[in-house]
Each structure stands twice: as C-alpha cells, then as structure tokens.
Amino acid sequence: MTEKPWLPTILSVMAGYVDTSGFLALHGLFTAHVTGNFVTIGAALVSGTSGIVAKLLALPVFCLFVIGARLLHYQLVDHGQPVVRSLLAIKLVLLVLAMALAIRCGPFPQGDSWAATLTGMTLVGAMAIQNALHRVHLASAPPSTLMTGTTTQIMLDVADRMRGVPDEQRAPIDARLRRMSVAVMAFAVGCAAGALLYAVGGMWCFAVPPLLAVAALWRHADAAAPATSK
C-alpha cells in the first residue's frame, strides 16, 4: 500500500477528538480506548454514577465490530472491491448516525439510558473499524488510538539519541521519532478540540467527526493504492 502520511494523522486527531468528546458527553465512556472502561466501571461502582451498562458493553461491541471489519475485508478482496475506502465509508456512516443521535437525543442526564448507550456503542463501532483498518492497512504508521506505547518508544529513542548511537542507526531513529511525535501531537490536538467544542457547543461537537471522516476518505482517494487495499 502506498504510504499516505496525512491519513494516519487525520485518524489520530479523530481518535483523540471522539474519545474526549465521548468521555465528556457519555458519562466517562471511552469510545476509542475501550479497555480504559474497566477503570471507569470501578469508579462508577464506587461513586454510584451512571453509565455502567455502556461501559460493560463497550468491549464486546468493539470486538464484534473488529471481527466484522475483518470478515468484510475478506469479502471485499474476494470481489475485487476497495477495502480501506469501504471501511472508511462505513465509519463515516456510523459517525453521522452518532451525530444524529447525540443532537436529537442529547444531552444525556443518565449514561445508562437507551439513547446514551446507543450513541456510545455507535461511536465504539466506528472507532473499532478505525483500529482494525489502521492495524492491517497502516501498520507502518504509529497507532492512532493507543498513545502509551508510542510515548514509551519516543522516550526510549530520545534516551538513545542522548547517549549516542552509531551513524547507521541515527536516521531510522530520527524518522521514527518524527512519525511518532506527529501521532501523539495529533491525538493531543484532537483531545483538546473535543473538550473545547463540547464545552462550547454541547452535543453539536459530534458534527466534527463526520467532517474528519470525509477528510480521511478524501485523503485516501487522493493517493493511489493497490486494488486489495484501496
């Protein structure tokens, strides 16, 4: 697959934005980093806050969407259809649906209401597709949702450069540092934008992810790719 440096960056911004705005609007639900919901389930049980049902559902829903994306991948390849473009389009549809639910039914005073849960699971599904797509088709790029491992590698590379490395290792390390630093900064920008626009616009903040999804589709279509990974 031809490298598309802007596509992973857009996806990183989207992940940070959706995770933060979803966390704020849906009573602490992580929609992109779903394993973080194990922590918030414990906190909700102790503090008595709502949203436990959605947090319990997040991981199995995430897993089902990843499995579905993988099986669809095989079907698309078998029929000679574009894979990445199709998955990005499905993610766009899910984000538009989540936006409509949030604007129509939100704000959500109870995290366990059917509207809040359905909105949250729709966002979880969209981000599951993004995770699967990134893992398979953008494997050379830093992850767009999990920043802990990326940050760890950045710090290891910084330590290596401070100590000094052989000349032949310097260029690969510097290139990896640049890629990973962009991913972390893009995710942070998305987080900040999600928090700010939620504070300013409430449920209307969910109008932004579909726009980012359109940008991702446009960026992908702007670069040539083999038929099996279009």
Q: Does some domain include residue 116?
A: yes
Q: How many domains is the chain built from?
A: 1
Whose structure tokens read 């992810």?
209
Q: Does some domain include residue 1?
A: no
**pLDDT exceeds 90 at position 219:** no
Q: Does some domain include residue 158?
A: yes
Percent of the chain with pLDDT strictly greater than 90: 67
pTM, rounded to two decimals = 0.88
Give the domain CATH number at 19: 1.20.1250
Q: Does some domain include residue 54?
A: yes
User: Distance (Å, rounded) from C-alpha 83 to C-alpha 59?
Assistant: 24
**pLDDT exceeds 80 at position 3:** no
Whose structure tokens read 């450069």?
161
In tens, the pLDDT along 134-159 reads 999 888 888 888 888 889 999 999 99
Expressed as residue numbers, the domain containing 189 is 6-229
Amino acid, single-letter form, for residue 52:
I
Q: Does some domain include residue 186?
A: yes
Structure token digits, residue 218:
């446009």
